[in-house]
Structure 1
Amino acid sequence: MVTYGMQLPVQSQSALYAEPWEASAGPADLVGIARTADRAGFAYVAVCDHVAIPRRLAAAMSTVWYDPVATLSYLAAATERVRLLSHVAVVGLRHPLITAKQYATLDHLSAGRLVLGVGAGHVREEFEVLGVDFERRGTLLDETVDALRAALGPEEFPRFAGERVAFDGLGQRPRPAQARVPLWIGGSSPAAVRRAALKGDGWLPQGDPRDRLPTQIAKIRSLRAAAGITEPIEIGAITEPLYVGDASWHVGGRTLTGKPDLLVESLRAYGAMGVDQIQVRFRSRSRAELSDQMSAFAADVAPHLDS
Structure 2
Amino acid sequence: MQLPIQSQSSLYAEPWEVEATPDDLVEIARTADRAGFAYLACCDHVAIPRRLAAAMGTTWYDPVATLAHLAAVTEHVRLMSHVAIVGLRHPLLTAKQYATLDHLSGGRLILGVGAGHVPEEFEVLGVDFARRGPVLDETIDALRAALGPDEYPEHHGKCHDFSGLGQRPRPAQRRVPLWVGGSSPAAVRRAATRGDGWLPQGDPRDKLPARIARLRRLREEAGIEEPIVVGAITEALYIGEPSWPVGRRTLHGGPDAIAESLRAYHAIGVDQIQVRFRSRGRAELSDQMQAFAAEVAPHLNP
Runs of 5+ in structure 1 lacking a partner?
A: 1-5
The separation in 1 between residues aligned to 2:202 and 2:289, in whole angstroms, is 21
TM-score by length of 2: 0.99
User: Deviations for 1:16-66, whole angstroms, at most 9, x for unmatched residues?
Assistant: 000000000021011000000001110000000000000111111010001
Aligned to 1:131: 126
Does residue 29 of structure 2 align to residue 34 of structure 1? yes
The correspondence for 2:81, drawn from 76, 83, 86, is 86
1:52-67 equivalences in 2 (<5 Å): 52-67=47-62
The separation in 2 between residues aligned to 1:221 and 1:94, in whole angstroms, is 30
The separation in 2 between residues aligned to 1:274 and 1:158, in whole angstroms, is 35
Does residue 187 of structure 2 align to residue 211 of structure 1? no
The correspondence for 1:293, drawn from 279, 288, 295, is 288
Match of 1:106, SS?
A: helix
Match of 1:125, SS?
A: helix
The separation in 2 between residues aligned to 1:273 and 1:74, in whole angstroms, is 36
The correspondence for 1:8, drawn from 3, 27, 36, is 3
Aligned to 2:191: 196
Which AA in structure 2 matches 1:99?
T
Match of 1:301, SS?
A: helix
Aligned to 2:268: 273
Match of 2:275, SS?
A: strand
User: Deviations for 1:92-127, whole angstroms, at most 9, x for unmatched residues?
Assistant: 000000000000000000000000000000000000
The separation in 1 between residues aligned to 2:154 and 2:259, in whole angstroms, is 47
Does residue 170 of structure 2 align to residue 175 of structure 1? yes
Over the aligned positions, Cα root-mean-square deviation in angstroms equals 0.5
Which AA in structure 2 matches 1:200?
G
Q: Give 1:306 deviation, angstroms.
A: 2.8
Aligned to 2:143: 148
User: Deviations for 1:143-184, whole angstroms, at most 9, x for unmatched residues?
Assistant: 000000000000000000000100000000000000000000
Does residue 222 of structure 2 align to residue 237 of structure 1? no
Match of 2:198, SS?
A: strand
Which AA in structure 2 matches 1:286?
G
Which AA in structure 2 matches 1:70?
A
The separation in 2 between residues aligned to 1:251 and 1:42, in whole angstroms, is 23
The separation in 2 between residues aligned to 1:268 and 1:164, in whole angstroms, is 43
Runs of 5+ in structure 2 lacking a partner?
A: none
The separation in 2 between residues aligned to 1:306 and 1:161, in whole angstroms, is 42
The separation in 1 between residues aligned to 2:295 and 2:97, in whole angstroms, is 37
The separation in 2 between residues aligned to 1:224 and 1:127, in whole angstroms, is 30
Aligned to 1:303: 298
Runs of 4+ in 1 over 2 A off after TM superposition: none
The correspondence for 2:39, drawn from 44, 58, 65, is 44
Match of 1:282, SS?
A: coil
Match of 2:40, SS?
A: strand
Q: How many residue pairs align between the two structures?
A: 302
The separation in 1 between residues aligned to 2:15 and 2:212, in whole angstroms, is 35
Does residue 97 of structure 2 align to residue 102 of structure 1? yes
Q: Percent identity?
A: 77
The separation in 2 between residues aligned to 1:251 and 1:69, in whole angstroms, is 32
Which AA in structure 2 matches 1:221?
R
Which AA in structure 1 matches 2:191?
A
TM-score by length of 1: 0.98
Match of 1:203, SS?
A: strand
Does residue 251 of structure 2 align to residue 252 of structure 1? no
User: Deviations for 1:169-208, whole angstroms, at most 9, x for unmatched residues?
Assistant: 0000000000000000000000000000000000000121
